[in-house]
Amino acid sequence: MKINRDISLFVLLIILAVSCMTISLFIGRYPVSVSDLWLAIKSLFSLKAAETNSTSLVLFSIRFPRILAAFLVGGTLSVTGAAYQGMFRNPMVSPSILGVSAGAGFGAALAIILGLGTLLRQSFSFGFGIVAVFMVYFISSVTGKKYDRTLTLILGGMIVATVFTALISILKYVADPDNTLPSIVYWLMGGLSDIEFKHVHFISIISIAGLVLLSFSGWKLDILSFGDEEAKTMGIRVERFRLMVIVVATLMTSAAVSISGIIGWVGLLIPHITRMITGHKNTKMLPASFLIGGIFLLIVDNFSRSIASMEIPLGITTSLLGAPFFLYILMKTSKHKES
């Protein structure tokens, strides 16, 4: 009976995700009807028609890649946030806990300062996100012999994030205020306006592979929540498993941030919402978090690009929506515990 209920939940989430993607195709400044969508789909089978049909260009070269990117970025940030919360046994942890967002932000800002193209900017962002977490793990390895390893990882993340944030400030200070500085500021606020299919291919491979690996390791996260000693008695190599989670989550977060900029609250908020629906079992919660996070960011992106004449950066929208909703969750949880 419980298995049927779990299957029904995932089927419902998948249907909801597909429905949101389909509806999103019609949202934007360029009006598209159902008949236009049908004609655009037919034009895909005619190369000549596809080249000359402006509706096909809008739908399949602009909107559809952005829709897929929004779903993948939202799902990726949600899963990595949930994985980190399970590994650190702390519900207040987000994907940026180990400095990956700050490192990725510095990489993107440096590429913009150097006048590099979109592909190199994303490569710089992805690479420096990985470098930041490598620095955190190195700090933890050196200092963790005398202190709790989890604590040193968190403190190392704070140190590295602070350093990269300061470096970003330096780059903003020396940037050209007329051209370069606005580009850096806009990227740091997060957005998906420049998404192309090649970016979707990049994040999809890393995100799906990481989701599968983390989901199949969810039972280890469940055991790890009881403490390192308990996990060791159950045959889990804690340090090796923790390193695996960090590597996979870092690659996923770096890939997401490299194409979207810094988008907050998704990796912190969505895991809490998912636990309210699925419970705390990670083998079920992680894939559900991916679907719910993807749906959430897709809806937020639709709102950001259609609510005003100018597109609102995603980082602003997620903060405005996420902070009050997270406060509501905290108040609801507090009342539940009191009762």
Q: Average pLDDT, stretch 324-337? A: 73
Distance in angstroms (rounded) separating the CA atoms of residues 246 and 259:
20
Model pTM score: 0.92
Report pLDDT digits (tens) over 128-147: 999 999 999 999 888 866 66
Site of tokens 């895909």? 44
Phi, psi of 237, rounded to the nearest 5 degrees: -80, 95
Q: Which residues contact 41 (CB under 8 A, 6 or more apart)?
A: none
pLDDT over 70 at 49, yes or no: no
CA end-to-end distance (rounded Å), the chain = 29
Phi-psi region of 116 (alpha: psi -120 to 50; beta: other; left: phi over 0): beta
Question: How deeply is 22 buried, as exposed, middle or buried, from its count of CB atoms within 10 A (0-12, 13-18, 19+)?
Answer: exposed
| pLDDT (tens digit per residue) in 246-266 | 999 999 999 999 999 999 899
pLDDT at 50 over 50: no
Least confident range from 42-51, 187-196, 293-302: namely 42-51
- Assess whether pLDDT exceeds 60 at residue 13: yes
Are 128 and 255 within 8 A, CB to CB?
no
Residue 113: the pLDDT is 95
Q: Identify which has the larger pLDDT, 48 or 176.
A: 176
> For residue 146, what pLDDT is reported?
63
Mean of pLDDT values over 37-51 = 65
Give me the pLDDT at residue 323, please.
Answer: 83
b (16+ CB within 10 A) / e for 108-121: bbbbbbeeeeeeeb
| 3-class state of residue 334 by DSSP | helix
- At 181, the pLDDT band (50, 70, 90 cuts) reads very high
Give me Rg for the CA atoms of the chain: 21
Residue whose C-alpha is closest to residue 242's, from 217, 210, 272:
217
pLDDT at residue 145 in the model: 65
Amino acid, single-letter form, for residue 40:
A
Average pLDDT over residues 317-336: 79
Residue 280's pLDDT band (boundaries 50, 70, 90)?
confident
- Output the pLDDT for position 114: 94
Residue 224 neighbours by CB distance under 10 Å? 24
Q: How far apart are CA 329 and CA 109, in angstroms?
A: 35
Work out the average pLDDT over 170-194.
91
Our CA angle for 81, 102, 270, nearest 5°, is: 20
Q: Where are the alpha helices (DSSP H) in the chain?
A: 2-24, 34-43, 47-52, 54-57, 64-88, 100-113, 118-143, 149-174, 180-188, 197-216, 218-224, 228-233, 238-260, 266-278, 282-306, 314-338
* Average pLDDT value over all residues in the chain: 88
Q: What is the DSSP string of 225-250?
A: TT-HHHHHHTT--HHHHHHHHHHHHH
Q: Give the tens place of pLDDT for each residue, 201-242.
A: 889 999 999 999 999 999 999 998 888 788 888 888 888 999
Give the per-residue pLDDT at 34.
78
Position 65 pLDDT exceeds 60: yes
Phi–psi pair at 84, nearest 5 degrees:
-65, -40
Summarize the confidence of residues 174-196 as an average pLDDT.
90
Q: Cβ of 220: how many Cβ atoms within 10 Å?
A: 24
d(CA 61, CA 40): 11
